[in-house]
């Protein structure tokens, strides 16, 4: 839960002796960005509504209102209108926020931008880790452009950080990528989306990834059904595939559904790949 000091007098905690300078007061006269607003508790939504409507706030432990002149930008990976209809988000607060909204398309729809972000994250990671990795191999660039980035920029950044850490040369090779990324053509059963997206860049709403069942491609089956081992691995793989489809290819949720840990899930995928290549 995000904790911002935009509370009213009734919300101030008992025994508060010192007045606290909150995020809105710091941003007064400027801009404040609130991320993942769909996750705010009901009480905080009420307090936030007062700030938005009355353009006033009160410090924790304070007794006087402070006038505010703040531009607010909010973001959510869940559609706020859907959350409001489900009763998870106040509808009146949604309408206050919805004066101007922009959808930012997920990374899997922005193929031309993947390497732009990848090179930026590589520079950041070099500074953080004290490395001097200069480029990605052509194979890695091809993998990045064709992989469906369910985790968007966070997933791309983490993959690059891991690969940079494991790279001893000035070029990141496919061997430094996680198995599920470097073997995405075998493990990932959805093709990257190619639909056009709006030219708008900022976001007030980020749609969650939804994978329709009809759009999911079945894996290429090349293991011989005539062998007992092959049939057993095929049966396990079918269960894994069904679990992945059920949870929109979220591997952590799929592992939980299968009553195994995430590492075991990856090992099962790797076992299928190795057996398939024999």
Q: Taking all residues of the chain, what is their mean pLDDT, rounded to a whole number?
A: 75
pLDDT per residue as tens digits for the range 211-240: 333 333 344 444 444 566 667 777 787 888
How far is it, in rounded angstroms, from Cα 233 to Cα 269?
10
> Who has greater pLDDT, 34 or 138?
138
pLDDT number for residue 28? 82
Kindly state whether residue 116 falls inside one of the protein's structural domains.
yes
Do residues 14 and 81 share a domain? Answer: yes
Nearest-CA neighbor of 11 among 55, 60, 51? 60
Do 181 and 232 share a domain, yes or no?
A: no
Question: Tell me, what's the pLDDT at 204?
Answer: 34
The residue written with tokens 């759009």 in the block is 215
pLDDT in tens, 13-27: 444 455 567 788 888
Q: Is residue 192 part of a domain?
A: no
Given pLDDT bands bounded at 50, 70 and 90, which one contains residue 122?
very high
Same-domain status, 71 and 123: no
Instruction: Report pLDDT digits (tens) over 30-89.
Output: 888 888 888 888 888 888 888 888 888 777 777 787 888 888 888 887 888 888 888 889
Residues 174 and 141 in one domain: yes
Least confident range from 7-16, 34-43, 114-123, 254-263: namely: 7-16
The total number of residues shown for the chain amounts to: 278
Same-domain status, 17 and 50: yes
How deeply is 22 buried, as exposed, middle or buried, from its count of CB atoms within 10 A (0-12, 13-18, 19+)?
A: buried
pLDDT at 273: 60
Assigned token pair, 45: 């939504």
Contact 138, 129 (CB under 8 A): no
The answer to whether residue 213 sits within a structural domain is no
CA-CA distance, 250 to 256, in Å (whole number)? 10
In a domain? residue 207:
no
Range of the domain at 151: 107-187
Residue that is last in its domain, among 67, 97, 127 = 97
Q: 71 and 36: one domain?
A: yes
Which one of 82-96, 134-148, 216-230, 244-258 scores highest in mean pLDDT? Answer: 134-148
Measured CA distances, 171 to 1, 43, 140 (Å): 40, 50, 10
Question: In this structure, is residue 205 part of a structural domain?
Answer: no
**Does 266 or 49 have the greater pLDDT score?**
49
Sequence-ordered list of residues with C-beta below 8 angstroms from that of 120, at least 6 positions apart, any chain: none
Considering its fold, how many domains does the chain have in total? 3
Same domain, 162 and 116: yes
Q: What is the pLDDT of residue 260?
A: 87
Considering the domain architecture, whether residues 156 and 229 belong to the same structural domain is answered as no
22 and 80 in a single domain? The answer is yes
> 31-34 and 71-74 as β-strands: parallel, antiparallel, unpaired?
parallel
**CA 184 to chain CA mean position, Å:** 18
């Amino acid at each position: 839960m995000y904790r911002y000091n935009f509370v009213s007098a009734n919300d101030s905690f008992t025994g508060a002796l010192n007045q606290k300078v909150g995020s809105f007061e710091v941003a007064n006269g400027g801009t404040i960005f609130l991320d993942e607003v769909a996750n705010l508790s009901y009480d905080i939504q009420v307090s936030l509504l007062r700030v938005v409507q009355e353009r006033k706030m009160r410090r924790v432990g304070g007794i006087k209102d402070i006038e505010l002149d703040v531009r607010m930008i909010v973001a959510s990976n869940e559609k706020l209108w859907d959350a409001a209809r489900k009763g998870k988000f106040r509808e009146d607060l949604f309408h206050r926020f919805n004066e101007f909204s922009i959808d930012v398309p997920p990374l899997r729809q922005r193929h031309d931008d993947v390497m732009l972000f990848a090179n930026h994250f590589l520079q950041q990671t070099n500074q953080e880790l004290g490395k001097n990795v200069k480029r990605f191999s052509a194979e890695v660039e091809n993998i990045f452009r064709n992989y469906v980035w369910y985790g968007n920029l966070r997933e791309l950044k983490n993959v690059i950080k891991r690969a940079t850490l494991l790279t001893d040369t000035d070029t990141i090779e496919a061997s430094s990528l996680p198995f599920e990324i470097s073997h995405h053509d075998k493990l990932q059963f959805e093709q990257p989306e190619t639909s056009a997206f709006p030219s708008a860049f900022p976001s007030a709403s980020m749609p969650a990834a939804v994978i329709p069942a009809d759009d999911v491609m079945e894996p290429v089956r090349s293991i011989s059904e005539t062998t007992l081992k092959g049939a057993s691995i095929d049966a396990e793989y079918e269960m894994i595939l069904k679990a992945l489809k059920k949870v929109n290819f979220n591997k952590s949720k799929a592992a939980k559904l299968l009553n195994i840990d995430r590492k075991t899930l990856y090992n099962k995928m790797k076992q299928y790949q190795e057996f398939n290549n024999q």
